[in-house]
Amino acid sequence: MYKNIVILTGAGISAESGIATFRDGGGLWSSHKVEDVATLNGYRRNPALVHDFYNSRRRELKNVSPNPAHIALAELEENHPGSVVIVTQNVDDLHERAGTKNLLHMHGELLSIRCEACGYKFKSGTDFSIESVCPKCSKKGVLRPDIVWFGEVPMHLEKIELLLISADLFISIGTSGAVYPAAGFVSIARNSAHTVEINIEASITASLFHEQIAGKAGKAVPEYVKKLLQATE
Which residues participate in catalysis according to the annotation? 107
Q: Contact with ligand APR (CB under 6 A): which of 132, 172, 199, 205?
A: 199
By the rule CB under 6 A, 24 interacts with ligand APR: yes
Only segment of 43-51, 96-104, 121-129, 174-182 that touches ligand APR (CB under 6 A): 174-182
At its nearest, how many Å lie between ligand APR and the CB of residue 65?
A: 15
CB 74 within 8 A of CB 150: no
Q: Contact letters (x/-) for ligand APR, 90-109, by CB under 6 A?
A: -----------------x--
CA angle, 182 then 104 then 198, to 5°: 50
CB 146 within 8 A of CB 121: yes
Q: Contact with ligand APR (CB under 6 A): which of 5, 7, 8, 11?
A: 11
Gap between the Cα atoms of 76 and 175, Å rounded? 20
Element (H, E) at 221: helix 217-230
| Peptide linkage before 181 cis (omega within 30 of 0) | yes
By the rule CB under 6 A, 21 interacts with ligand APR: yes
By the rule CB under 6 A, 224 interacts with ligand APR: no
Q: Residue 90's closest CA among 99, 73, 103?
A: 103
Instruction: Report the interface residues with ligand APR, using CB under 6 A.
Output: 10-12, 15-16, 21-24, 27, 89, 107, 174-176, 178-179, 199-201, 203, 216-217
